[in-house]
Amino acid sequence: MDSVFSVIVPYVDWDFKTLLVFTAVFIITADYIKNRRPVSFPPRPRALPIVGNIFTVDHNKTHESLTQLAETYGDVYSLRMGQRWLVVLNGFDVLKEALVTQGDSLVDRPEIPLLDDVFHKLGVVFSNGNIWKQQRRFALSTLRYFGFGKKSLEPVILDEFTHCAKDIRSYKGKPFDPRLIINNTVSNIICSLMFGHRFEYGDKKFKNLIQMFDKALQLEASIWAELYNSFPRLMSLLPGPHQMVNQIWNNVKNFVQQEMNEHKQSWDPSERRDYIDCYLNEIQKNKGQDGNTFDEENLIICVLDLFVAGSETTSTTLRWAFLYMAKYPEIQEKVQAEIDRVIGQSRQPSMEDRACLPYTDAVIHETQRMGNIVPLSLPHFTSRDMQLRGYTIPKGITVIANLTSVLFDKNEWETPFTFNPKHFLNEEGTFVKRAAFIPFSAGKRLCLGENLARMELFLFFTSFMQHFTVSMPAGVKPELDYCFGVTLAPKSYEICVTSR
């Protein structure tokens, strides 16, 4: 019997090895055939079977990796992430041609499994088609009604600054991390519009909520998210940080749900106190109509979208601004001197002062450029074949607009990697907005909160410089390191703030 097994086993073992080799060859061949691209498709770096270019990119600084790849493969190139193809656009001329000239072809968002599990393709950020058109139109008209981008919103912003200033003064010049105060200050503006009220800075529940935003936005741009979006069925079964994204956004959705339920208890259709009230009216008005996209689930996602978008980008920009002012005290002094000359200390700033504060305005714009808050914008999706720079980008391809490549383009900026407010000033010292300044992206998916963000940045920054001076703690040098995510935030730092 032993002799029989000694004869059979080598053949069984060899057959098993052959099966493994055959299976591997079959999978690699099938993967190659499936992912062959036509000659007219944008060039790409060599990809591994199955996973593609997932490990080609450094996911701790994806924007830098993608910008460096453009030096080798050109301003329009492709990457394969698992079984998904991306086309990366670089440089101002390319982005302008794609997002503006051919914007109709890139108005959609791609499927993003990690986020689709939470947002269900609803809301104003990740929705498409009729849902997106109806929700964006409603959001813009409603927010304008409540003073979005108008002078009537100035008192709300300036009043919030008084709360912020009081909290900052309580530190009496001692070092503190400004992140939570700034986040709370900015968030309260969008909260006033969405919920009809603000949150106290000591509100632990609210502080925990806005702390979650940073974590979620970092995870959404991590390699874990890339693996999930490439292999959603597999990754949904595996443990890892990607599982936290769903938990975080569900917590935020529960928070919004609670606000909505409280509104419903006191809701009067004849009153329009805030965005939620207006949305509840819209649900009532559109019941039973064909093509209606207004319901409570969409309300929650829309509020979440606006809440996060209206909080995160502006607060991150201000955090960069204070860090730059601490690093460049001579620039801070020039800003303060201009504010003292134009506004003085006896009154609050107004948006009407902006034209008379060109240097201050230039510093704010340079902070946005260097801070590079949304380095890769949000992804687009081709709704039809498009021709770009001699290449064919087929329908159904995810397109990444690399804003980093524009904001640091050496052909557009005299000193692209230096904090230089002169980028936005002419020889006479008059403010000049540059065409390549596109931190809010461009085209039909342009950030709908741009006007609010511009108003908040100017009023908060100017008010802050009017009343305070920022410096680093004794013996500490300012570091401009970042945490990569959907937004590019400075690493946690402490500053000293003294009253002027």
In the prediction, which pLDDT does 4 show? 47
Output the furthest CA–CA distance in the chain (Å, rounded).
104
Strand (E) or helix (H) holding 144: helix 129-145
Q: 323 — alpha (psi -120 to 50), left (phi > 0) or beta?
A: alpha
What letters, b where the CB count within 10 A reaches 16 and e where it falls short, cover 294-307? beeebbbbbbbbbb
- Cα separation, 90 vs 140, whole angstroms: 29
Q: Are strands 386-388 and 380-381 parallel, antiparallel or unpaired?
A: unpaired
In the prediction, which pLDDT does 214 show? 84
Q: CA-CA distances (angstroms) from residue 30 to 25, 47, 81?
A: 8, 15, 16
- Cα separation, 81 vs 317, whole angstroms: 30
Q: Side-chain half-sphere of 30: how many Cα atoms within 13 Å? A: 8
- Is residue 495 within 8 A of residue 472, CB to CB? The reply is yes
CA angle, residues 375, 324, 156, in degrees to nearest 5: 80
DSSP 373-400: SSTT---EE-SS-EEETTEEE-TT-EEE
> In terms of Cα–Cα distance, which of 15, 240, 246, 247 is closest to 116?
246
Instruction: Name the residue ranges covered by the structural domains of the chain.
Output: 35-499
Q: If you ran DSSP here, which 8-state letter would residue 423 be given?
A: G
- Is residue 96 within 8 A of residue 405, CB to CB? The reply is no
- The correct CATH number of 35-499 out of 2.40.50.100, 1.10.630.10, 3.20.20.70, 2.60.40.650 is 1.10.630.10
- Cα separation, 378 vs 99, whole angstroms: 12
Give the phi and the psi of residue 151 in degrees, each rounded to 5.
-60, -30
Tens place of pLDDT for every residue, the chain, 500 residues? 455 445 444 544 556 677 666 566 656 666 556 666 768 999 999 988 888 899 999 999 999 999 999 999 999 999 999 888 999 999 999 999 999 999 999 999 999 999 998 899 999 999 999 999 999 999 999 988 887 766 788 999 999 999 999 999 999 999 999 999 999 999 999 999 999 999 999 888 888 888 888 889 999 999 999 999 989 999 999 999 999 999 999 999 999 999 999 999 988 888 888 999 999 999 999 888 888 999 999 999 999 999 888 888 999 999 999 999 999 999 999 999 999 999 998 899 999 999 999 999 999 999 999 999 999 999 999 999 999 999 999 999 999 999 999 999 999 999 999 999 999 999 999 999 999 999 999 999 988 888 889 999 999 999 999 999 999 999 999 999 999 999 999 999 999 999 98
> In terms of Cα–Cα distance, which of 154, 63, 122, 112 is closest to 401?
63
In the prediction, which pLDDT does 83 show? 84
The reported pTM is 0.91
410: helix, strand or coil: coil
In the prediction, which pLDDT does 35 show? 63
Q: Rg (Cα) of the chain, in Å, rounded?
A: 26
Strand (E) or helix (H) holding 497: strand 496-499
Strand (E) or helix (H) holding 260: helix 242-266
